[in-house]
Amino acid sequence: MTAMLPVDWDLIDATFTLPFGYIWNGVAEFNPEHDEHAFIVGPPASGKTVIARSIAAAAVVQGFDVLNLTSASLPGVRHPSTAFSTTLKQLIAERRVPGAERVIVLTDASELLTGRNAAANANILASLLGGGAKLGIHLVLFASDPYLTDGADIDAIDDLLPLTRNGLVALLDKPTENVRLEMFGTDGLTVTAPGHLGGGLLQQRNGSVEQFRAWHAELPDFSRFVASYAT
């Protein structure tokens, strides 16, 4: 199996976007100036955590307020202890104040759309997907599948779909032909995912679908990098 790529920390330090890997002729990146939100979809151990580290590190460099609302370890990134819906309602209230800084919110559908707070979480996610970017709130939603089946029994789940309507979508691992067609249209059938760790497909803003490889952001390296911007 091909190893994942090392992070280009110099590029993260120099760019004005939130890069997380390479496409064949450039950089795989989330640009909140153009993509309201980002959706990173893949099964366990497909590369979602290392992508979260790359995006979080780049967001710190760019001066975003960064919130980690996942269970992933992201040292140096704010991780509120309050409930998701409470945290987001407070965040929305804060962003209504003129001059408030933009925020990147890392979230995990598998964690949010299960349990007793799932319905409330789904409702506020839907609200943010619809209007959060106008307040400077950009979601990075990690999910195990593009249909958010973890929340299939929640009434509000239909308000979250399709994921492609609100931003960048990256499909990790080897999405099926049906998934590629539903997520990317016929362009999704023109390219297959690479068969290596951290590989997948993403759709560019011009509609083209590209193979990409995620950077492997090791936790100690991430911690040192983020800490260097906190001092």
Q: pLDDT digits over 120-151, tens only?
A: 888 888 888 888 888 899 999 998 888 777 66
- Residue 14: how many CB atoms within 10 A of its CB? 10
pLDDT category of residue 165 using cuts at 50, 70 and 90 = low
> What top-level class would CATH report for the domain 5-230?
alpha beta
Write out the DSSP string of 60-92: HHTT-EEEE-SSS--TTSB---S-HHHHHHHHH
First CA to last CA distance, the chain: 39
Treating both helix axes as pointing N-terminal to C-terminal, what angle do 84-95 and 118-131 enclose, rounded to 10 degrees?
30
Q: What is the pTM of this model?
A: 0.91
Cβ pair 103, 138 in contact under 8 A: yes
Q: Write out the H or E segment, with its range, that includes residue 12.
A: helix 9-14
According to the model, what pLDDT value does residue 220 have?
92
Domain ranges of the chain: 5-230
Backbone angles phi, psi at 99, to 5 degrees: 85, 0
